[in-house]
Amino acid sequence: MTRILLRDAQVVTMAPNRPDAERIDILIEDDRIAAMGDRVDATGADVVNLTGRIVIPGLINAHLHTWQTALRFAGADWSLLEYLAHTHGHVARRYRPEDMHIGTLAGALNQINCGTTTVGDWCHNCLTPAHADAAIDALNAAGIRAVFLHGTPHGGPAKPHDLREVDRLLDGPIAKSALLTLGMAIKGPQLSTSDVAIADLRAAVERGVIASMHQSVGAPGPGWKAVGTAGLWGPHANIVHGTGLTDDWVKRLVDAGASFTSTPENELGQGHCTSITEQLLRAHAAPSLGTDTETAVGGEVLTAARITLAHQRGLAHELELHRTGMGAPSVMPTSKQALSWATVHGARALGLSDRVGHLAPGMHADLVVIDARALNLWPAHDPIAAALQAGIANIEAVMIAGNWRKRHHALTDTDIDAVKDRLKESGARFADKIRATGPVARTRRRVVRTVVRRHLRHQTRSGGG
């Protein structure tokens, strides 16, 4: 048995009925937290002194497309239309299994470096079984905990999810992994027919997996009601973005137990618009958070939490300003709420609340060590606020299932230069395609943009179906 004792840190457990922050020891045995408290017995343990550090639960990035990592920032100035046209309409179909592998590996390693221990990896470019296997192999190689949300390139609305492939993964690559679980990245009622949406969600329920779907740029159509009539909204359903949903719909879905994931930085930048967090708070619920795509924005989920917090506070101040001529006399939401969006609520959205999201005996040992001695955080009067304001330079160590994946500010057991070389080579192939200016390339680009624009216009006007 491996025993590790973390001593003298300020610990933010995010567990119910515990102080916001407390100076306690954490004893880890193999992959679990065995005990927490004052001066825990260190017999036979590797004692790690963490004076001046803050320990928090591992961060959870609930919505990320790691397969797109090789296209990092190629679309920093793209609209949603341009992103869909370039990434999905032009280069996605050119991906080889080895491109899926290096993009996923580099993306997962970057998440660990940022303090993320669990990702909801929305992999909707599984062109073949080999593409899916390559992505899964990369997640295992990175050593990250993940829900692999299996998806395929955008097809017609009448095309159901490939359940043979879901079952193959459940019985094979996923069953062999201690850190991975399977989910389904489905089109959902906005992008598929009512019959397909019902069939896909029913399949997820039957298999006990999460079904995650996008909803943005348009009001909910009749498919949403049809799914509700079939009794298929529940904790297994995860809705990404959620823009266009009315308050009534949000309340109905919250009451049914569905979860929501907001990706605020790219939602604001690409034109999804961001309103779901405000609606969830009104419904006495909360979002999970993701960073979506590194074609457009960075991968730090703490940045997403800070953006969401600032946006919500700004809305509250603006409302009060219109009402009284002054800003709000107190600020809400709190820093602790924002941190919960990237921990507790991320775990719930991915169906992992019994394993991760907060620190307590019996939970898996997924945690982050933040160096609060650094000039940008010192003195850390409020450990929760300091943790929320931490950057990559402050993430000293990351543990996943009792194993150090980052230590002394560096990833462990990883040849970063080799990963970077492979990522650059993969990305160059696609960047050249995107930048091509010949007559054939221009014609193809114009056709794809026209098709995508027509699709988005139909989606906005009809709300799916």
Q: What is the per-residue DSSP string for 9-56?
A: EEE----TTS-SSEEEEEEEETTEEEEEETT---TT-EEEE-TTEEEE
Across the 465 residues of the chain, what is the mean pLDDT of every consecutive 10-residue run? 96 97 98 96 95 98 98 92 86 96 98 98 97 98 98 87 97 96 96 96 98 89 95 98 93 98 93 86 97 96 98 91 86 96 98 98 98 97 98 98 98 97 96 68 56 57 50
Q: Looking at residue 209, what DSSP letter applies?
A: -
Q: Which two tokens stand for residue 136?
A: 């899964």
pTM value is 0.94
Residue 151 C-alpha from the chain's centroid:
15
> Rounded distance, CA 317 to CA 326, Å?
8
How many other CB atoms sit within 10 Å of the CB of residue 271? 17
Residue pair 47/7 in contact by the 8 Å Cβ criterion:
yes
Cα angle 29, 6, 341 (rounded to 5 degrees) comes to: 90
Alpha helix stretches (DSSP H) within 231-334? 247-256, 264-270, 276-282, 301-324
Residue pair 100/334 in contact by the 8 Å Cβ criterion:
no
Residue 325: predicted pLDDT: 87
> Rounded distance, CA 333 to CA 94, Å?
44
Q: Looking at residue 91, what DSSP letter applies?
A: I
Q: What is the per-residue DSSP string for 397-459?
A: EEEETTEEEEETTEESS--HHHHHHHHHHHHHHHHHHHH--SHHHHHHHHHHHHHHHHHHHHH
Residue pair 439/137 in contact by the 8 Å Cβ criterion:
no
> Rounded distance, CA 93 to CA 52, Å?
49
Residue 465: predicted pLDDT: 43
Q: Looking at residue 353, what DSSP letter applies?
A: T
Residue pair 208/173 in contact by the 8 Å Cβ criterion:
no
Which whole-number Å values give the CA distances from 266 to 77, 83, 101, in the listed order? 11, 11, 24
CA torsion sign, 447 to 450 to 453 to 458? negative
> Rounded distance, CA 45 to CA 39, Å?
13
Residue pair 306/338 in contact by the 8 Å Cβ criterion:
yes
- φ and ψ at 397, to 5 degrees? -150, 150
Question: What residue ranges define each of the domains in the chain, with the CATH number in brackets?
Answer: 3-57+355-411 (2.30.40.10), 59-349 (3.20.20.140)
> Rounded distance, CA 342 to CA 338, Å?
7
Residues in a beta bridge with 239: 213, 260
Q: What is the per-residue DSSP string for 324-352?
A: HSS--SS--S-HHHHHHHTTHHHHHHTT-
Residue 79: predicted pLDDT: 86
Residue pair 310/278 in contact by the 8 Å Cβ criterion:
no
